[in-house]
Amino acid sequence: MPRTNTPMPNAVRALLMAGGVLVIGLGAVLLFVWHSHVVDRTGSYRLVMGLAMRAAEAAALYGGSWLVVRGWNGGPRPRS
């Protein structure tokens, strides 16, 4: 998809930022609740689930921050 020099509408920017905050917040809450289930386990299950939780945490933080930054920056600026 070609990029144009049209600025992003403010409503889209606000939705991107709100979505990013929501992804980060829900990811943190869900992983916090899920953590108690993993702590009770032992052995390889705990190791694998711990690694999966870290990957999910990284994905939520990266994806949420990408959405917030994309919304904050607002896309390409018109060239002078």
Query: What pTM was estimated for this model as a whole?
Result: 0.76
Q: How many CB atoms lie within 10 A of CB 50?
A: 14
Asked if the structure places residue 28 within a domain, the reply is yes
- Residue 7, domain member (yes or no): no
Number of domains in the chain: 1
Mean pLDDT computed over 11-21: 93
Does residue 9 have a pLDDT over 70?
Answer: yes
The arithmetic mean of pLDDT across residues 20-28, rounded, is 93
* Residue 68 domain flag: yes
Write out the DSSP string of 35-73: HHHHHT--THHHHHHHHHHHHHHHHHHHHHHHHHHHHHH
pLDDT given for residue 22 in this prediction: 96
- pLDDT on residue 2: 56
Has residue 31 been placed in a domain?
yes
